Amino acid sequence: DTAVSQTPKYLVTQMGNDKSIKCEQNLGHDTMYWYKQDSKKFLKIMFSYNNKELIINETVPNRFSPKSPDKAHLNLHINSLELGDSAVYFCASSRPGVGGYTFGSGTRLTVV
Amino acid sequence: AQTVTQSQPEMSVQEAETVTLSCTYDTSESNYYLFWYKQPPSRQMILVIRQEAYKQQNATENRFSVNFQKAAKSFSLKISDSQLGDTAMYFCAFMDSNYQLIWGAGTKLIIKP
């Protein structure tokens, strides 16, 4: 009964490949997010989706594209992977109000 | 722009001691929410404690408590009777009126046996 689940947990791939990370939440939350955590542990918001509408899109390369087939899923697709994309990617969800975010366990992406 | 500052990159204490992690923030909003998240070596992000700005009473969760000073824009986390399992990165976060979280850079806490 995992609240926010991400797959895969680890992903090793070569430069230039295209990959996807999947995220699902069973909390009934309205908003889902993707974060990137770099090697210095800094958390950077990439995207958020509210009721299938993109409401934040920070200065993220357009090689990254979020895809939300429904309110419970927000997948992250990455084209033409680069070495600098190596990081831990977190999915999270929230509902309006004070509850804070619930995070998935993260996906460690390594581009070689 | 709203910012969150954690001035202690790393701290270490002996098991069973009390430790306080500092966090300051900058905002012009009057109603907001503050959080502390913990990220152990397993990398899972875990909500430790939250505080509503309109509440004067400091939040407490078992061994974890905060010292919320609204006028000073300070939100420190106190961990009492520290345990080895408290070893983790601790992130302070501010939630703005759009329910977006603004994060501090984190404090690495090491509990020594």
A5/A91 Cα distance (integer angstroms): 8
Distance from CA of A44 to the nearest CA of B (A): 8
Confidence at A51, pLDDT banded by 50, 70, 90: confident
**Spatial CA neighbour of B36 closest among B7, B6, B73, B14:** B6
Question: Searching chain B, which residue's CA lies closest to the CA of residue A107?
Answer: B43
What residues of B are in contact with residue A42 (Cβ under 8 Å)? 103, 105-106
B16/B113 Cα distance (integer angstroms): 9
Percentage with pLDDT > 70 across chain B: 100
State the pLDDT at residue A1: 65
How many beta-carbon pairs under 8 angstroms link A with B?
Answer: 46
**Spatial CA neighbour of B36 closest among B22, B17, B16, B56:** B22
| Mean of pLDDT values over B7-26 | 97
pLDDT at A99 > cutoff 80: no
Of A94, A97, A105, the CB nearest to B44: A105
User: Which of the two residues, B100 and B72, has the higher pLDDT score?
Assistant: B72
pLDDT at B14 > cutoff 80: yes
B20-72 pLDDT, tens digit per residue, is 999 999 999 888 999 999 999 999 999 999 999 988 899 999 999 999 999 99
Q: Which residues of A touch B (CB under 8 A)?
A: 31, 40-43, 45, 48, 56, 88, 90, 92, 94, 96-98, 100-103, 105-106, 108
Beta-carbon separation of A98 and B95 below 8 A:
yes
B109/B89 Cα distance (integer angstroms): 6
